[in-house]
């Protein structure tokens, strides 16, 4: 298939591009490079076709979707806190950008559309998070992803098969620009700096390795039916447990600085992956210990990143 990956220069995107190319897909990337990540293959002859452009721009979107069989729409401003501070930017990138790419795909006759959504559409829900829970976003970011899920669900009227995948907390290589817990923890540990834990550290998350996300997306672009799926491991890991796992992976004791809990941080989060297991025939394969080891290995082999 020819697959357009918007946001393909970013963390999830760059890992996905490699996976899709390994599977024999012909990949096109549309990214405005605003997150600051620029993979080694960007605009190299041997890499995927790369278009530097904004997903809010109709012309860029129309040029990128030409000839595509499927679109994986990852381009977004991904932060909850950022979306509260600058909701207008979140709206333009995540709502207008999603509509613009989907509309360009519709005009070009693209039949498959996969959206990167998030558990943020269910903020405050008691886990395990399931697809039949009523959405209740508590941030502009969660609301923008809910819009995306809505228009993707409606894309059936244009003859498209649309799937929304709600990623849990994704981690893995190419995370140099990310501010998520694992990316920050590992960079600090390698730089010999203490890590910061907010609140008691008993808050839980579901940490999913990025290769598992890439395999799920590959399944989704081949799916025959539309749908919404939670992607995670189903394993609930507290931040304190994560610190111990980081110590095991790094083979060193980690200095922890404790700060007050942050407003709006969920107390618990993990997903029920039975729908993805059943209907996408997908199963995560990488354990936290293994994934942390692989991420550390990538950070160690990427000079200048661990600061």
Residues found near ligand NAD in the complex (CB under 6 A): 7, 9-13, 31-35, 37, 54-56, 74-78, 93, 97, 116, 118, 167, 169-170, 180
Q: Give the shortest CB-37-to-ligand NAD separation in angstroms.
A: 5
Q: Which is nearer to ligand NAD, 76 or 197 (CB)?
A: 76
Check whether the bond before 128 is cis (ω within 30° of 0): yes
Provide, rounded to whole angstroms, the least separation between the CB of residue 251 and ligand NAD.
Answer: 26
Closest CB to ligand NAD among residues 77, 257? 77
Q: How far are the Cα atoms of 170, 182, 187 from residue 175, in angstroms, in the given order?
A: 10, 9, 9
Q: Is 93 or 197 the residue whose CB approaches ligand NAD more closely?
A: 93
- Choose between 118 and 139: whose C-beta lies nearer to ligand NAD: 118
Which of the residues 141, 171, 209, 229 is marked catalytic?
A: 141
141 counts as catalytic: yes
Q: State the nearest-atom distance from the C-beta of 192 to ligand NAD, in Å.
A: 25
Alpha carbons 38 and 104: distance in angstroms, whole number: 25
CB-closest chain residue to ligand NAD = 10
User: H or E segment at 73?
Assistant: strand 70-73
Task: Tell which residue, 61, 56, 58, has the closest CA to residue 28.
Answer: 61
Answer whether 134's CB lies under 8 Å from 84's CB.
no
What does 30-60 look like in DSSP terms, one character per residue? EE--TTS---TTTT-TTS-EEEE--TT-HHH
Nearest approach in angstroms of CB 252 to ligand NAD is 25
The token pair that represents 267 in the structure block: 């107390």
- Annotated active-site positions, please? 141
């Amino acid at each position: 298939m020819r697959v357009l990956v918007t946001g393909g220069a970013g963390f999830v995107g760059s890992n996905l591009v490699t996976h899709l190319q390994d599977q024999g897909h012909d990949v096109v990337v549309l990214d405005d490079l605003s997150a600051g990540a620029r993979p080694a293959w960007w605009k190299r002859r041997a890499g995927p076709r790369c278009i530097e452009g904004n997903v809010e721009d109709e012309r860029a979107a129309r040029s990128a979707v030409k000839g595509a069989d499927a679109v994986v729409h990852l381009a977004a401003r991904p932060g909850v806190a950022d979306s509260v501070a600058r909701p207008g930017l979140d709206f333009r990138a995540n709502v207008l950008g999603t509509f613009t790419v989907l509309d360009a795909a519709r005009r070009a006759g693209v039949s498959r559309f996969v959206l990167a959504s998030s558990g943020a559409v269910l903020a405050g829900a008691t886990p395990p998070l399931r697809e039949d829970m009523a959405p209740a976003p508590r941030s502009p970011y969660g609301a923008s992803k809910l819009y995306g899920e809505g228009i993707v669900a409606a894309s059936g009227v244009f003859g498209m098969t649309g799937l929304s995948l709600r990623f849990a907390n994704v981690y893995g290589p190419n995370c140099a620009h990310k501010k998520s817990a694992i990316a920050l923890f590992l960079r600090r540990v390698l730089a010999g700096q203490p890590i910061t834990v907010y609140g008691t550290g008993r808050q839980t998350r579901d940490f999913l390795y990025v290769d598992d996300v890439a395999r799920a997306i590959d399944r989704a672009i081949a799916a025959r039916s539309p749908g919404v799926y939670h992607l995670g491991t189903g394993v609930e890991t507290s931040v304190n447990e994560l610190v111990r796992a980081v110590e095991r992976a790094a083979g060193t004791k980690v200095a922890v600085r404790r700060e007050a809990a942050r407003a709006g941080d969920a107390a618990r989060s993990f997903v029920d992956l039975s729908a993805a297991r059943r209907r996408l025939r997908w199963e995560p394969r990488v354990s936290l210990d293994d994934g942390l080891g692989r991420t550390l290995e990538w950070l160690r082999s990427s000079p200048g990143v661990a600061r």
